[in-house]
Amino acid sequence: MTLLPLLVVFGLGTLSAILTISRRNPLHSAFYLILTLLSVATSFLFLKADFLAMVQVILYAGAIMVLIIFVLLLTAVEEVKKIPLFHRQTPLALLISGGLIAEIVYTLLQRRILAVEGPPVHSMEALGKMLFKEYGFPFELASILLLVSLVATVVIAKKEGPS
């Protein structure tokens, strides 16, 4: 594998991460955060961790980001724009994140990370077979659960009609 695609993905991830914290409009930040999460998911793919990549996309880029954007839509975005981006805690934040980076670099240099032995596991395939064969019944039950939550939400959120 050439290094170039990997570098592109990492670069994109870092760039969008910086954009996430430096945008004035929180909605833009949210969209850049999605880009960051997708780049992380892609780098998981490069590491042959396909399950993690899928979870990253479904949970973070999917569910959690939808939640964040919903909350943003309910808040006054225009008001938030007037709040200064940087404040007095910047030095403290720099100190903490600098420490974290130092720790990561140190660990990497020590080569203390546990290497995964053995042939690559096609975890997605195994997971899919489990879900649709052995655990087919709970999987279908989950669909009922989703339907019920949907109906319950509509009941709670619906306005009372003229009676």
Q: What track of x and - describes contact with another protein for positions 132 through 151 (by CB under 8 A)?
A: xxxxxxx-xxx-xx-xxx-x
| 2 is a contact residue toward another protein (CB under 8 A) | no
Tell me which residue has tokens 């996430």.
Answer: 20
Q: How far is the CB of 41 from another protein (least distance, A)?
A: 24
Q: How many residues in the shown chain lie near another protein by CB under 8 A? A: 25
Q: How far is CA 124 from CA 40, 45, 131, in A?
A: 18, 11, 10
118: left (phi over 0), alpha (psi -120 to 50) or beta: left
Cβ closest to another protein, residue 58 vs residue 142: 142
Site for another protein in 83-122 (CB under 8 A): none
| 163 is a contact residue toward another protein (CB under 8 A) | yes
d(CA 32, CA 13): 9
Q: How far is the CB of 149 from another protein (least distance, A)?
A: 5
- Residue 118, burial from CB neighbour count under 10 angstroms (0-12, 13-18, 19+): exposed
Q: How far is the CB of 139 from another protein (least distance, A)?
A: 9
Cβ closest to another protein, residue 11 vs residue 138: 138
Cβ closest to another protein, residue 86 vs residue 137: 137
Cβ closest to another protein, residue 94 vs residue 141: 141
Tell me which residue has tokens 């064969």.
Answer: 133
Our measurement of the distance from residue 13's CA atom to the centroid of its chain's CA atoms, rounded to an integer in Å, reads 12
d(CA 90, CA 72): 24
Give me the sign of the Cα torsion angle 33, 36, 42, 47. negative
Cβ closest to another protein, residue 118 vs residue 161: 161
What are the residues binding another protein (CB under 8 A)?
Answer: 132-138, 140-142, 144-145, 147-149, 151-156, 158, 160-161, 163
